[in-house]
Amino acid sequence: MIHVLRYTEELEKVGFSTEQAKKSVQLWMDLMDQNFATKADFKEHYFMTKTDLKDVQNEMKELKNEIKSGMNEFKNEIKSEMNEFRNEIKSEMNEFRNEIKSAVLESRSDFKSDIKDLEQRMTVRFGVMFAASIGIISALITFKS
């Protein structure tokens, strides 16, 4: 604390009257009380700042948790959409496979049918040719004799 009495005595020693010295010291004391910070003021400010920093840290932690939560939700949404997309692709691939299988089976069936038709036509032709051959051979034998 400031030694008011000692400052008043010092001012009186250099020529101030007692009243002037008291008034001067009082003015300085008022000025210092209103404008100067004390150790207690600094400590109070320090604790307020420290408390404020703790609050800011807590808010930052909450914000960090909210961001993490939001990121996790976003990741889950993306995973869900990717799974849906994969399922759609698989479904379309299966449909495409089935269409190809169906087309192959249909082509096979058509091919088998065409082969059977060809076989029947060839059988008929060979039969006609065989009958014609027998007829020609009979005619040759008859004419030779």
Tokens of 127: 């039969």
Give the mean pLDDT of 119-142: 92
pTM of this prediction exceeds 0.85: no
Say what the pLDDT of residue 29 is: 84
Map out the domains of the chain as residue ranges.
1-36, 39-119
Q: Does pLDDT of 131 surpass 50?
A: yes
pLDDT at 44: 76
Please state, in angstroms and rounded to a whole number, the distance separating the CA atoms of residues 96 and 89. 10
Which of the two residues, 139 and 91, has the higher pLDDT score? 91
Cβ within 8 Å of residue 28, ≥6 positions away: 7
Q: What is the C-alpha to C-alpha distance for residues 113 and 107, in angstroms, rounded to an integer?
A: 10
Q: How does residue 9 score in pLDDT terms, banded at 50, 70 and 90? A: confident
Which residue did the predictor score with more confidence, 36 or 56?
56
Residue 2 has pLDDT above 60, yes or no: yes
